[in-house]
Amino acid sequence: MGSALVAGLLKANWCSPSDLAIVQPSSPKREALEERFPGVKVLDQVSKNDVNEQTGAVLCVKPDHAEAVARNLSSAGVGRLLSVVAGLSTQRLEATFKNSVPVIRSMPNTPVLIGEGVSAISGGEHCVAADLEWAESILGAVGTVVRVPERYQDTVGALSGAMPAYLYMVVESLIEAGVHQGLTRDLATSLVVDTFAGAGQLLKHSGESPEQLRFNVTSPGGVTAAGIRMLEQRALRAAFLEAVASAAERSRQLGR
């Protein structure tokens, strides 16, 4: 997630490489980052000499490490923090700082890797408009950004955060279904992956609702209708309702 953001910021000319620094404790990973992002400083840890109160930090570590890393950033004196950490509230991150540092919580998703992500951001207690604009400009370099009240963040994580995994599972299942009907795996993969990408583009650019697009390919009593009847019998919609509810509950648990 962190390197996707650096790549997006550089591609968007958000700043010059020398304005950025990446903190990465592992030495082989530091070398790979230096090679990938020439001109960007790559540090093993952050210290007071590297930052001032104008410095913004983006927290992109696993939830288990997040508060310890935020405490280091606080000791070094960073001026604001954007977190992409799932489940971790702005309140808990604010508590790792000695002073009233603005904290923005966000939930991006993996299409940020190709600049096509969608991220939701929420400002903590000390945020003003300029802090949200700063966060939006960073995540906007790798996709679209929406602002939501923080109480929605667990649901956003369970929906758009996790959704690439749900959709890949649908794709895998459909490839398997093609193979079971006698197509080669390569042919089934090509048909399903290209249809997935094309259907997504059609949904995004046609201006039609998903229901209308589905109606458009469902002739009365036809082939698609027979397939959809089986999905309804197997309660596909209920499975998604329960999947998102379960993922949101897990996000709430992680944040406790």
161 binds ligand NAP (CB under 6 A): yes
Phi and psi at 217, nearest 5°, equal -105, 10
Candidate list 56, 63, 115, 178; residue touching ligand NAP; CB under 6 A:
63
246 binds ligand NAP (CB under 6 A): no
Q: Does 90 bind ligand NAP (CB under 6 A)?
A: no
Min CB(95)–ligand NAP separation in Å:
17
Q: Which stretch binds ligand NAP (CB under 6 A): 25-33, 135-143, 208-216, 241-249?
A: 25-33
What is the closest distance, in whole angstroms, from the C-beta atom of residue 91 to ligand NAP in the complex?
Answer: 17
Rounded Cα gap, residues 68 and 148, in angstroms: 26
Among 23, 101, 120, 158, binds ligand NAP (CB under 6 A): 23
**What Å distances lie between residue 215 and 128, 181, 230, CA to CA?**
45, 25, 16
Cα distance between residue 84 and residue 2, in whole Å: 9
CB 142 within 8 A of CB 3: no
- Least distance CB 28 / ligand NAP (angstroms): 9
Q: Which of 5, 20, 42, 69 binds ligand NAP (CB under 6 A)?
A: 69
**Environment class of 181 (CB within 10 Å of its CB; exposed 0-12, middle 13-18, buried 19+):** exposed
Residue 198 is a binding residue for ligand NAP (CB under 6 A): no
Residues binding ligand NAP: number (CB under 6 A): 21
Which lies closer to ligand NAP via its Cβ, residue 198 or residue 200? 200
Closest CA to 21 of 111, 12, 9: 9
Helix intervals (H) in 37-108: 63-76, 90-94
Token code pair at residue 198: 């094309």
Residues 6+ apart with CB under 8 A from 3: 22, 33, 36, 37
Q: Among 11, 65, 234, 237, which residue interacts with ligand NAP (rule: CB under 6 A)?
A: 65
For binding to ligand NAP (CB under 6 A), which residues are involved?
Answer: 1-2, 23-26, 29, 60-63, 65, 69, 84-86, 107-110, 161
